[in-house]
Structure 1
Amino acid sequence: MRFNLLGPLEVIKDDVPVPLGGLHRRAALGLLLLHPNAVVATADLVRALWDDDPPATARKMVQNAVAALRDVLAAEERVSLRTVAPGYMLRLDPHRIDLADFRDLVRDGRTAFRAEAWDTAARHLREALGLWRGPVLADLSEIAAAWPEPAALQEERLTALEDCAEAELALGLHRELLGELGAVAEAEPARERLCGLVMLALYRCGQQAEALAAFHRTRTVLVEEFGLDPAPELHRLQRAILAQDPDLLVPASKAAPAPAPPAPPRERSKRPMAERRHASVVLVEARVNADTDDPERVDEVLTEVDRIIDAEAAHFGGLVRGPLGPYRLVVFGVPRAHGDDAARAIGAALAIRRRLGTARPATARLAVATGEVLAVYRDEHDAEPAELTGAVLDACRRMLAHARPDGVRVCDRTRRAAGRPFGRRAGDPVSGWNVTDDRPPAVPPPPNPPFVGREKERERLWELLDETLRERRSHLVTVVGEPGIGKSRLVSEFGREVRERVGAVRVVSGDAASLGIARPDPWRPGCPADRPASEASSDGASGPGPHRLDVLAARTPLVAVVEDLHRTPAAFLDLVTGMHERPDRGPLLVIATTRPERPIDAAPDASAIVLGPLADTEITAMAGTLSPDLLPLIGGNPLFAQEYARLPPHRPAGPPPIPPRVRDLLTVRLDALPVAERLVLRSVAVFEPAASAEGVAAVSERSADDVAALLGILERKGVLCRTPAGHAFRQALLRAVAYAQLPRKHRIVMHRRAAAWISGLPADQGDRLVHHHRQMIALAANDDRSIAVLTEQANRALTDAGHRAGMAGEHHVAARCYQGALELSHPAPVPDRQRLRSLYRQSLRRVGSEARVR
């Protein structure tokens, strides 16, 4: 016997259809065939046949239908319908069902597809699609319409059709495909990949206008029905069509593998990127002072103004945007954060005012504001964004309207972020603070908290110092740890102890400035900016550089502490890491601090001390009493604990805010990573609590091999750790910062991709859908229409996942799915919520029954 589900239900024996009888028999057999060799509960059969309104004799009617089916199947020895509590099991070879043949052919086709063997892929996939004779169980549509399985199988068919069309497009069969794709796209207008294939086929047929019209139809449906914009891939294809990109044409040789999937080729096309950033912006309004109408004179003055702004922006590490009439914009924190961007912005504004005031080529008014911006890049590897938007730009413009000629105004957020009081408050918050002094008074740093823990690390440093003094040699030790973990505090305390206990040993310490690289002081006129080591002073006036340490050690035993070696150019790294290999001129212990993402490649006899997190008891002893829910976020990081201790108590209704200094530190750490690693991290942040390489690949639309390699790199850098569930962030706050950098609509799209990927996993993974549907609904909180659509999708997806899990015997997973559906179905009608509550309680009872049996 053969059983056909892909169309009207058929049972074929010796090429002759076998009569099945009434509707209930056919429906029961159809449901059993959808779950071959698995137990289908009697309750599920009753619900499938009569939904929520079964007659009193429903179970008896199911028993009668099963008995009649046994008579039909009795003629086939290797097919049996057994009673297995709590229902029935249809035992047979799955390949007697056309659905199994379809899936085998699709699997073979996709294997060839991944190898870019387009001819083989198209042949297998086209054969698989040929097995469909209509909708699944088409003759049972009145009953099966509410079943989750037909809808899932229809999704499999459409995905196979898209794969087949992509392979056939690579073979140049766009004219043959156009009619079929157009008809399917009209029935499924929200499928973005299908729209892309239609656009490509139309473009290759010389119908460019129709291709663009297809894009706009799909975009209209997505915006109006779901509140979503098309994915970046579809926008890239639209732009490629407008530009008549030659990459969209048919490959020159049909036999040669195409360079990439052609809708559009991802590796060869640009990948747009958008990110949310905290930034400080300087808006400069320059007006020519000269009383002249000579346009050449005006151009000369404005050119000089631009030169001054460009020089000071580069000096302080800012990004200059193109002039807009009399306005110039300088941005700090984009594309990379520095950790002190507000101070840099103020320093640049004061320096521009000072230089324009001295040269007097023009009169300038300046304003500085801090807030969030959305940075949009044409390609993820672009050096700077193509667009910047955000309310902070409007706030800066409003403050500028209140600034006096040659005046500088700053907003409250900038003033707080800079950490130093200055200026005089204007009349209202919109006007900001009027800066009257180029150098505000210094603010004494807060007192250091108690130094706790690190006993083993201090003992190790003392052992190395004793060996250095005893053997009269040089030694390098690197102290490695994440930002805020206490590297500087450890070496500072060790240096203080050495000064107190060993008077014969000299201790010198410094950061990059001691190596001849100065950091900008925003309020000091003429301060040096960050610049390459080749431009730095080498006279040693700013401190003992590495070329002088061995000379100093020849006079007195020396402990040299070099801070933040990860921020030092490669040439200086070579000097520092090679100091202990210099000719022995005296005892020299070099202690260098660095971060995990840039380990120091030192000689084999060098040492390293890795600082791990402090225990919760040590954190409490250092920072005082903290709310218990903060300790997992702090993660044993002393600096994070100090910053959270300074915050006012947070309301328990929501997560505690991230202190600005912690956010800035973590942003700097993320920005130090290559762009591909940052983007993969953002995709990992979409999952909770951990992500697999396959899941990240599905969300980021990168190859699984590339993702696995990047995850391994991030694990070695100490950003991620491996858990049984996959890769997870070592720091919960780093995950929060990476996730917050994703624009809201991108988060919705990525959660939707994650949910689609999870739907294809085994039934025991279904409860992972709850997190993603919950996040999608939360992100659409201000759009009632989108919430209604997303709620309906969540209800359907989680209910289907619960059914799948229950049929597989994973009742604890089913209970979590139903619970999630119930939680997210608040706007649903009362009967729907009652049905979900009933399903949830049934699953809980089954979980309890299994527990009692065990």
Structure 2
Amino acid sequence: MQFRILGPLEVVGSDGPVALGGTKQRATLGFLLLQANRVVATSQLLNALWGVDDAPTTGRKILQNAVYSLRGILAGGRAAGGESATLLTRPPGYMMRVDPEQVDMYLFHKWVRQGREKQAEGAVEQAAALLRDALALWRGPVLADLVEVGIDWPELGALQSLRLDAMEDYFDAELACGRHSTVLAELETISQAEPLRERSCAQLMLALYRCGRQADALNAYSRVRSALVEELGLEPGRELQRFQRAILTQDPALSQTRTGAGDVLREMAGEPAREPELVAASAPGAREQARPRRPAAPAPQAPRVTAPAPGNGRAAAVRQPDVDRRRVSVVAVRTWMAPSLSTGVREDRDDLMDGVTLVVGEQIERFGGTVMASMGSVSLALFGLHEPAEDDARQAVLAGLAIRDALDVCDETGAGHARFSVHVSVSMGQVLLRRRGQTATPTVVGGVLDESQSLLQGVPAGEVRVNDAIRRATENTIVYHQADPPSAGWRAIGAWSETPDGRPGGQDRGYELDVLHGLVKRTRHRSVPHLITVLGGPGTGKSRMLGDFGHLIASQPEPTLFLAGRAPTAPHEDPLLAQAQTLAAYCGVRPADDVVAARAALAAKVRALFADGPAASRHLAGLTPLIETVAGARAGAGAAEDVLDAWCGFFQEAARRVPLVLCVDDLHRADDAVLRAVEELAESARSGSLVVIAAASPDLLLRRPTWAGGKSHATTVTLDPPTRITAEQLVEFLLSAARSERPKSPADTGV
């Protein structure tokens, strides 16, 4: 296996790229590779994954599950016959044991060290080749895919600094080889990107001078000097000033094309330049000895990645910009109330609106957001305005759900005419912040604000809708259903929460979760498959409870694989959507993966489960259409019955290797073939720790009155609708909230 972290995180095995799973699992691997062959404390890993002291109470269990999955990936590499790393448990944490030759970061350190050794010896051609190869290992910023989702470790910035140092060594070697025109474009690019690096500026000035562009060389010096003076209040260093004077006086040392910027500076200072190493044509291996060569510098050690010192680079700029562009999450709330809810007195209606605004503001602030404006029945709030955090999107959705729960009322008329309604949208995107002072509230401009209002207009009463950016950022922690039509966004169902005693929170489903958990433990103990049907109408919290149960399973010390999918909710969706989602989750395939990688991941899992050649070929042929649809390709032709048979056989065999909970939500929407497959999946399994959870509305029993009837290992859990407040109760609460926040008038106090 080869491990690549100089760019997006990649693990490449003998069969190509290896699927690595979710963000936390990838981040665990990336951090361990940064500290390869060293013990990393568990506390250090938790801080890296969630921030200092911000790890959830289930953080250790999530980390343990990630380590467990990574060990399976690494073991697969060894089983394929290639060398692989080993993830070891070493108190007080874990250690990734890996050959440095398998990690691109350590190859980069090695080749840079060798290039500098050759440079110190005067072998500039070899030095340039080694440094060029080292820099070619970079495919972008370090762990670019993790940085994109908010990872910001100090080690990443330190590695970027090491890359810039190596680039300057490479430029010096190329200049010493006389290739000033070759590196000129790269030097101009790095000087624009890093205007405070004086060494790069000196190299650019030398290359421009040798290309006959003396005026441009002096302009480059002026730009760097202006940046240093304006941002740090510093003049350029003596060496850069010496370069400027040398150009003004046309110092002959600048024209010696077999020297780099460092050699020119030494010669101007009266020191002999390093002599390039030459090889005599008549005697291979014999060195030309024109004059004694300076002794080689000691070989530098591979640098340990540490955080850069405060004050280096652009981060140390003295002035704060007046304009800032950043990604924020926007929560928009609109309420409506019937005139009959108030007494008809305008003051009462105003108090009701004031109470709504107070409730909205309280929930927004509770989850870390900032209310930007409240006008009439609409309020607008931002998350990530002051101190952007990794979980801003999740907190915004949780705030929207909390507002909905606080203001949602039951329709006591029974006629479908609600007397009070709340509508919430959550969007994410880039905005422009303009400040006129350090303490002033910024002006916010951005297309996402208009998008949030447009999305809000189509939100039905009592729902929270999010845009696709929010869904992608929070799909691992929030349960969603796609709206109909899809252009109307995604409907947030609920989220995982946890109380201090470790029990899942939410709509008081602790007892039902205990039942599910007990059945899973019983199945593990007896190795007898079980079918659980969860019945509940709209608003009973089926999807939210299943999400909570998935997190509860993940937090347990016994490893159990929880896979979830949902039946199609819109006509355009694939009838086998749930089967495709559960298969993709087992294989570690994501929608962003290409078809080739998805097929390779499926083939690896099938070969691991079925040693028999014909059985493996049969299951691979049946499952390939499912995995292709997840990867965005048009599925090949295949009978639904054959695909479902392959799906059932695959997971029945998988449950004999690892305890498995297979969950299908909204099953009442599935077609008859899918219903038969799900119902018979647990019953037809010979043995193994397999729990099949079918979540549906009571409509399922209307379609199939005999569902799960007569089966020896089947249980039904029925969810009752939660208790909701009436409109009159809400009015009383809102008026009390508004008037308690207002100073009493003399009339109120009787004065």
Q: Same-fold call, TM > 0.5?
A: no
Structure richer in helix, relative to its length: 1
Per the normalisation by structure 1, the TM-score is: 0.32
Larger radius of gyration: 1
Per the normalisation by structure 2, the TM-score is: 0.36
Q: Which has the higher contact order (CA 8 A, sep 6+)?
A: 2
